[in-house]
Structure 1
Amino acid sequence: MNQDLQKIDRFEVTRILGKGAQSVVYLAYDPKLQREVAIKTLHFTKQKDQQNEIQALIQESRTVSKMRHPNLVPIFEAGEYEGDPYLVFEYVEGKTLSDLLREKGALSANEAIGIIAPVLDAVAHAHQNGIIHRDLKPSNILISPEGIPRVMDFGIAERISDKPGEHDDVLIGTPAYMAPEYIDGRIISEKNDIFAAGLILYEMVVGHKAVQGSNIYQIMHRIASEPIELPPSGEISIDEKLGDIILKALAKNPLDRYASAEEMGDALHSFMLAGEETAPPSAESKQSTLDFLLRRMRHRGDFPALSESVSSINRVVSSDRESINKLSNSILKDFALTNKILRLVNTAFYSTYGGGTISTISRAVIILGFDAVRNIAVTLILFEHMQNKAHATHLKEEFIQTLFSGLIAKDIAKGASKDIKDPEEAFICSMFHNLGRLLAMFYFQEEAESINRVMAQKECNEDIASAQVLGISYQDLGIGIAKTWGFPEQIVHSMRKLPPDSIPRPKTAMDRLRIITSFSNELCAIVAHTPSEDRLKSIKKLSGRYGDSMPIQEKQLQQTLEKALDEITQFAGTVRLGVRESRIGKQAANWTGHTHQVEVAGASEHAAEGTELTEAEAQMQDTVAITATEGVTLAQGKLPEGMGNKPDAGNAQAILTAGIQDISNSLVDGCSLNDLLRMILETMYRSMDFQRVLLCIKDAKQNAMVGRFGFGEDINQIVKTFKFPLSYTPDVFHAALSKGVDILISDINEPKIKDRIPDWYRKTITAQTFVLFPLNIKNVPVALIYADKEAAGGINMPENELSLLRTLRNQALLAIKQTL
């Protein structure tokens, strides 16, 4: 393949990033998805069975492309161009580990372990998916500008011949990082990668390769026949325990090595913790321990999903008006989460906000506010992941106490000074105050039990005990994870414990949030664990400590507890917490004299568990008949119980019907045009399970239709490029707008229609089927709603569903007319 080429298939080559004996890596631009990528092209010098080699490589790369891990560089595509295979990777800025070693030489033990441990985590993930790297080496490890190591080139090692002049007996990999059993007997297993990891760790702490020679055959001979030893102590000082770990990974016999990459990572973790026990933890050692704990969590299949869900919502910034759309998009990716939120916001818990029945996330944001919906989403995500049959009861107790503290904090914040602009901030801060303990209880159950034993035996607090057992305190664990999840600074600040003596008056709004958060959590702990005879003494002590910073009367405290108990029993019906049976539920009811109320609420919770319906859902399930604009009468429908699943024919009609009613209310309420259009698009997106739904608006200056906003996959990128002229073009888009007719294209490649699909569409969108709903006023096009699915023939709309979709389109027209 020509190294000076300008294009590889559709990819526009920018420059060469690196060259190897049989490969070239380019920086390129993907015009279809509008992103930079790295493309590796490979050239096989061996002609015999070359096509088989190419096909095998492409097939293996497709297998690798299915892996997702934060320490892997993913493969996006694989193909063939001008007779050679190419692979398309995510482009990651930074340098390779080999570059770093050339610049710095030997690394400290902490630095080296901080790099190899995530690599082992990525390798373990690959092994669990049945994939062996076979060419693990420093040049295949990228270090991002943030210092995060990422492994690349899984399954695509270069081919080299075993002996000069022979081409039939080939080895895969780089000689200096091959395992002895592979060189001698061509034995391939996960132990090959463990041996390579040992060689890399050796190289990082020593400063040079473990095995050297004048040529590749001398290197391979030494690996296969000579034991690898550490340098003499006079040459370089390596901790004895770390040296043992390196030598075990480099054992000649595979059976003497670590059984898995995960086991080697655990050994390094134990080494780090042992070192911290003998010295005060530094910022570097704390970070290393946090990294280890995060890697252990990632081995639990749900943790990456939890992290991504929370992080994606936290990435949305409330100050940006378009963030309503971004927040809705983040939530709508999870059908179950979407419907839990909608059930919750329609309960009495949020009745004080008004606004009637809410059927879309977009309307929920309008009625309840951006922060309230974001906080509900994050709270529900955390609760859904914090469930495990082995210790569900203990976790539920902890979660109920956490939720109770959040409700108390929100109520206190409402009566606080103007420093607290939004009580929802206090709610979420208090909810996540003890995040480290909650996560440790779920992911490190044995260690959490050990921490409780240490607290009892040594009569110390949980931060001292957790630091002793985990190598990091619960507080630092929670703060570290909150930062990785992108929580704002006020939440991170509020997670820091206050001093045990009296608390001074707050100087800033963040200080006030921290004080309210701490007070709420300490009050909940007293309610949950203090015997009745000691209540008065504990409350007086708490009031005395916070007297200067947050004066609160006993009567106010009682009212706050009562209100929180009322709210938590309403909240519990949606997430089925079982407040009645909980320790804090019983104690709080006893404190407030609401025992009967909690029992009744508890009975309601059990009823909810059987039916999984709230009062609002029951109301929404009532038969609805609506006369929409332009005389269209809707079919009747009901909101089904299984809304947590993707829509089927039954609940598609129900979601459409509920959405139309919701939007009708919003039209009467005078919602802004953007908010109404957003609700209409969201209803279409959820009801029909479209891949994406997008609104185009006429731009008079450009005489074109341009994308405005939408929902679905890659929608932010698609909106930027979705643009077409209003002047005559012989395609389906012009036909829909000029004639004012709805058009469904089942297959863009059908012979009769393929010439009517414009080039701009094929370059921008990968979907094979789409539907167009033009919005014309007096035969003049003003907007267009576009919806699609990836596979040809994927859109099927019975007449009654099509009628409902057209009603939504008519509501959009009415909203636009009202602004003219």
Structure 2
Amino acid sequence: MNNSTSPTHGARERLLDKIRSDKNLPTLGVAINKVVQITSSGEDSVSELAHFILSDVALTQKILHLSNTITYRTLGGVSVTTISRAIFLLGFDTIKASALATLLVDGFRDQKQAQAVRKELVQALCASVTAREIAKRNRHPKSEEAAVAALFKNIGRILVASFDHLLYDKIHELILEDPQNASEACNKLLGCSFERFGESVLQDWKIPDSIILALQPIYGEPKKSTQDSEWVKQVANLSEAVAKVLIQSDSKLSVSERCAPLIKRFGSALDFNAEQLEIILKSVDKEARQLAITLEVPLATLDQTPKTGAVQDSDFCNEFMLPSFDTQQLQSVKRQPSGKPLNARDLLLAGVQDATQMLASKDLKLNDLVLLVLETLYGAMGFRFATACLRDLQQAKYVARISVGEKYMERQKEFQFPVQMDNSIFHVAMNNNVDLMIADALNPKIQATLPTWHKRLLPDTRSFIVLPLVIEKKALGFFYADRIYAADEGMPPDETALIKTLKGQLLSAMMKR
């Protein structure tokens, strides 16, 4: 018996070993798995996703940049400056898929960025956006799974192109010679299909089986299915095919002509026609083109031939929309020695605008607004930890409910104290309904009012604020936020007014509940 390893099996294992030993990819795998595991049901998942994004400055900036493209900004009318409102405005699934796409692209930025890698990454994003748009119109319960599956549909090709570009080129040449036998070409040189290779890595990353199963190819014309797993697989396959059309910019055929066979093949199974696909393509084009430009990958031009003299909506809005905050400028600023941004006023004003937009929506959830106010205070004032502490009638305690910042989960668990009145600074603030800004917590007067539990939990606090939440003389709780440096710069009246406005907006929403 010959136990020697075949050349193709050796190529596959060598490549898998190389990928598994890469220092960056395990971290990428953990991050991607974390986002995939965040469910879309319940209010906690929104908060969890917001916290995950906020923990990564680069990811936060990229999501905000996406939220402020013309495609989305016109939905709210003003620029988006907080992750909380981005999730509220764009939807949980959109932000989740966008975060995954951003992680995937950034994860391979350190690899040799050959044109093939960049092209595969743009295709992954186009496929994911396509799946999300299809699912949005179907209102299917597995819509987010379809968007994630579509994003990973070509992960095998991305990995091979990144780690063995020579092998990728050889496989690609064979596929160009005989497009109908792409799997055979891949098996011949790699030892398995691109899909199977990608599955192996995703299994290492502990991506859910439901996502991995959806990566399997579909042959022939699929039938309409009542099984969720089959629907996800069909959407992922169609989305990948559409993405391939979009990144093939040198074809003599138009996008519509090249998509016609896809409509014939998948239209019946997924209930869509040429007109609906055209709408989907426009949405995908708007969102994916910016990344394509960044990665220097041309996308096919959509069949949009406006009549002479006709005004395109997007061009019109771009030209005449009122100027709003530049989110890139807002996010990268100089700071006071305390950590407070020099443009705190602008950041607070942007948060007030976000809250105003959120309050005007019939879909408003109080927790979303609380998180937005916290995120605004945290970012605009340069705090290291911020929390909303609310009264718990059953426990007769004030308990931290929603928090952001450094070690927020650990600190939130311990941030609680009895409702029974004492002379602590928190009870004094609520009893008198007075907003407090403490510039130096080492002041003997302040030290005398800080409770023991606070000194134990946050011993290095040097400056902090307490904003009571009081309605009709009943204390509901308060906002708390702190820094580890003294705030010698103080707080000017305009910033104070904006903070009070933010608090007032929340109290107004609470009174309506």
Structure 1-normalised TM-score? Answer: 0.53
Q: Is the 8 A contact 1:336 1:644 kept in 2?
A: no
1:297 and 2:22 matched: yes
Residue 787 of structure 1: how far off its partner (Å) = 0.9
Which residue matches 1:725?
418
Decide whether aligned partners of structure 1 residues 463 and 650 sit closer, same or farther in structure 2, where only a CA change above 3 A counts: farther
Residue 690 of structure 1: how far off its partner (Å) = 1.9
- Aligned-partner residue type, residue 807 of structure 1: T
For 1:582 and 1:501, locate their aligned partners in 2 and report how far apart those are by CA, in whole Å: 30
For 1:570 and 1:684, locate their aligned partners in 2 and report how far apart those are by CA, in whole Å: 32
Match for 1:521 among 240, 244, 249?
Answer: 240
Match for 1:327 among 40, 45, 49?
Answer: 49
Decide whether aligned partners of structure 1 residues 356 and 428 sit closer, same or farther in structure 2, where only a CA change above 3 A counts: farther
Residue 678 of structure 1: how far off its partner (Å) = 1.9
Q: Percent identity?
A: 25
For 1:701 and 1:682, locate their aligned partners in 2 and report how far apart those are by CA, in whole Å: 28
Match for 2:332 among 633, 638, 645?
Answer: 645
Residue 674 of structure 1: how far off its partner (Å) = 2.3
Q: Could you say which structure has the higher helix fraction? A: 2
Q: Is the 8 A contact 2:65 2:327 kept in 1?
A: no
Where 1:378 maps in the other structure, the secondary structure is helix
Q: Is the 8 A contact 1:772 1:784 kept in 2?
A: yes
For 1:368 and 1:537, locate their aligned partners in 2 and report how far apart those are by CA, in whole Å: 31
Task: Note the residue ranges of structure 1 that are not aligned, 5 or more in a row.
Answer: 1-238, 240-273, 605-613, 622-637
Residue 571 of structure 1: how far off its partner (Å) = 1.8
Match for 2:6 among 272, 277, 282?
Answer: 277
1:438 and 2:158 matched: yes
Residue 746 of structure 1: how far off its partner (Å) = 5.0
For residues 590-628 of structure 1, what are the alpha-carbon distances to aligned partners after superposition, in whole Å with 9 as ceiling and x for unaligned? xx365999xx99x99xxxxxxxxx95997463xxxxxxx
Decide whether aligned partners of structure 1 residues 615 and 729 sit closer, same or farther in structure 2, where only a CA change above 3 A counts: farther
Where 1:491 maps in the other structure, the secondary structure is helix
Which residue matches 2:428?
735
Superposed, which structure 2 residues align to 1:236-275 within 5 Å? none
1:806 and 2:493 matched: no
Q: Is the 8 A contact 2:61 2:328 kept in 1?
A: no
Superposed, which structure 2 residues align to 1:456-535 within 5 Å? 473-485=193-205, 487-498=207-218, 500-525=219-244, 531-532=251-252
1:570 and 2:286 matched: yes
Considering Cα pairs closer than 8 Å and 6+ residues apart, tell me whether 1 or 2 has the greater RCO. 2
Q: Which has the larger radius of gyration?
A: 1
Residue 641 of structure 1: how far off its partner (Å) = 3.7
Where 1:297 maps in the other structure, the secondary structure is coil
Residue 796 of structure 1: how far off its partner (Å) = 5.3
Q: Is the 8 A contact 2:73 2:79 kept in 1?
A: no
1:314 and 2:28 matched: no
1:692 and 2:380 matched: no
Q: Is the 8 A contact 1:335 1:645 kept in 2?
A: no
Superposed, which structure 2 residues align to 1:74-153 within 5 Å? none
For residues 229-253 of structure 1, what are the alpha-carbon distances to aligned partners after superposition, in whole Å with 9 as ceiling and x for unaligned? xxxxxxxxxx9xxxxxxxxxxxxxx
Residue 395 of structure 1: how far off its partner (Å) = 3.3
Q: Is the 8 A contact 1:746 1:768 kept in 2?
A: no
Decide whether aligned partners of structure 1 residues 643 and 292 sit closer, same or farther in structure 2, where only a CA change above 3 A counts: farther
Which residue matches 1:370?
92
Where 1:642 maps in the other structure, the secondary structure is helix
Where 2:512 maps in the other structure, the secondary structure is helix
- Aligned-partner residue type, residue 407 of structure 2: D
For 1:669 and 1:539, locate their aligned partners in 2 and report how far apart those are by CA, in whole Å: 37
1:762 and 2:455 matched: yes
741-750 or 808-817: bigger deviation: 741-750
Structure 2-normalised TM-score? Answer: 0.80
For 2:258 and 2:355, locate their aligned partners in 1 and report how far apart those are by CA, in whole Å: 51
Decide whether aligned partners of structure 1 residues 545 and 641 sit closer, same or farther in structure 2, where only a CA change above 3 A counts: closer
Which residue matches 1:428?
148
For residues 553-575 of structure 1, what are the alpha-carbon distances to aligned partners after superposition, in whole Å with 9 as ceiling and x for unaligned? xxx33x45543443244224654
- Aligned-partner residue type, residue 667 of structure 1: L
For residues 125-182 of structure 1, what are the alpha-carbon distances to aligned partners after superposition, in whole Å with 9 as ceiling and x for unaligned? xxxxxxxxxxxxxxxxxxxxxxxxxxxxxxxxxxxxxxxxxxxxxxxxxxxxxxxxxx
Aligned residues, how many? Answer: 499
For 1:573 and 1:548, locate their aligned partners in 2 and report how far apart those are by CA, in whole Å: 29
For residues 644-679 of structure 1, what are the alpha-carbon distances to aligned partners after superposition, in whole Å with 9 as ceiling and x for unaligned? 436743443222101112212333435233222222
Q: Is the 8 A contact 2:391 2:476 kept in 1?
A: yes
Residue 295 of structure 1: how far off its partner (Å) = 2.6
Q: Is the 8 A contact 1:347 1:616 kept in 2?
A: no
349-358 or 694-703: bigger deviation: 349-358
Computed over aligned residues only, the root mean square deviation of the Cα atoms, in angstroms, reads 4.3
- Aligned-partner residue type, residue 786 of structure 1: Y
Decide whether aligned partners of structure 1 residues 724 and 452 sit closer, same or farther in structure 2, where only a CA change above 3 A counts: same
Residue 756 of structure 1: how far off its partner (Å) = 3.7
Which residue matches 1:656?
348
Q: Is the 8 A contact 2:441 2:486 kept in 1?
A: no
Where 1:741 maps in the other structure, the secondary structure is coil
Residue 314 of structure 1: how far off its partner (Å) = 2.5
1:707 and 2:432 matched: no
374-383 or 502-511: bigger deviation: 502-511
Q: Is the 8 A contact 2:387 2:479 kept in 1?
A: yes
For 1:615 and 1:457, locate their aligned partners in 2 and report how far apart those are by CA, in whole Å: 44
For 2:76 and 2:212, locate their aligned partners in 1 and report how far apart those are by CA, in whole Å: 32
Which residue matches 1:399?
121
Which residue matches 1:266?
none
Residue 687 of structure 1: how far off its partner (Å) = 1.7
For 2:256 and 2:401, locate their aligned partners in 1 and report how far apart those are by CA, in whole Å: 60
